[in-house]
Amino acid sequence: MPRSNRPRRAPGGRPGQVPAHDDGGDLSRILYGGQRTETRRGREWVVQAISGASSTKPYVCPGCTLPVEPGTPHVVAWRADGLFGEDSDLAARRHWHTHCWKIS
């Protein structure tokens, strides 16, 4: 008589399961939660912290012009004044080294 081999629960759980969407995911992360507003050089900016795990692509930091390597925790900033419309501001968002943003 065959035994049921259906596990009642996954042993040890299943860590590291990734949601189906992988690319463009940083945009949805930007849009949902974890944002703050800062004033720099007389302008308001929306600043979003990106964890190393969420950083999967290289970017060029506008502060030091060096690459922000994948896996590096950093910040994304875009203008909060809506001068060019929210979509345009978001499209023009820049990825900064956390340090470079702080001293900018």
Which residues here bind Zn ion, judged by CB under 5 A?
61, 63-64, 97, 100
Based on CB atoms, which residue is closest to Zn ion, 18 or 100? 100
Q: Which residues contact 27 (CB under 8 A, 6 or more apart)?
A: 90
Answer for the pair 58, 69: CB distance below 8 angstroms, yes or no. yes
CB of 57 to Zn ion, least distance (A): 16
CB of 100 to Zn ion, least distance (A): 3
Based on CB atoms, which residue is closest to Zn ion, 36 or 99? 99
Other residues' Cβ atoms within 10 Å of the Cβ of residue 82: 10
Alpha carbon distance 84, 64 (integer Å): 25
Based on CB atoms, which residue is closest to Zn ion, 7 or 95? 95
CB of 97 to Zn ion, least distance (A): 3
